[in-house]
Amino acid sequence: MPGMTRVMIVDDHAVVREGLKMILEGQEDISVVAEAGDDAGTLTRAREQPMDVILLDVSLPGRSGLEILKQLRYQYPDLAVLMLSIHPEDQYAVRFLRAGASGYMTKETAPAELVAAIRKVANGGRYVSQVLAECLVEELERPDTAEPHTRLSDREYQLLVRIGQGLKPAQIAEELHVSTKTISTYRSRLLEKMGLSSNAELVQYAVRQGLVD
């Protein structure tokens, strides 16, 4: 149908996908054309099925939402990717927008706002909530007082989150597709940048900042 916005829903919980699908399929101008629950399924569907918007969960099994976002932006630069997360905007949103996301929403967002955001990014715009807009302004006005984790590289940030989740070096190495030696190097750099001295302190920081579930 002309003017129809084709959407793929990516979330590892089937009940969440079904709920989002019910919201979107109630709109005359939006069609859910694909679903996926992990990184491999997401990339496969994006390759096989023409679509306009991907509604992508931040936390997926396997590679992180940030890594998937970057690959999607590289392979399909015209495809809008709208991030969906349980985490508040001030914890993750800026990093995802810098990586090329078309917008960032929490799972507490009202259905009407979700629909409006999809329509906006499908037409080439970016969705920024009022809360996120305030976060962006604060970051511009006070760059030197930002929390330490906001100044980490993407790889360092991924490591911080996984350490915060209690993963062991071998598990992290497998998830990030690097060696345990590389993880050790990143960990040393991470501790130095954060001004911390142990994994226990990294875990405490991640929990305190709400970076882990």
Mean pLDDT of 65-89: 87
Which tens digits make up the pLDDT trace of 138-176? 666 555 556 778 778 778 888 888 888 888 988 888 888
Mean pLDDT of 94-116: 87
Pairing of β 103-106 and β 80-85? parallel
Confidence tier at 70 by pLDDT (50, 70, 90): confident
Strands laid side by side in the 80-85 sheet? 30-36, 5-10, 53-57, 80-85, 103-106
Domain residue limits, the chain:
5-139, 147-208
pTM greater than 0.85 = no
**What's the rounded Cα separation, in Å, for the pair 129 and 135?**
10
Architecture of domain 147-208: Orthogonal Bundle (1.10)
**5-139, CATH topology level:** Rossmann fold (3.40.50)
Q: What is the pLDDT of residue 27?
A: 92
**What's the rounded Cα separation, in Å, for the pair 67 and 69?**
5
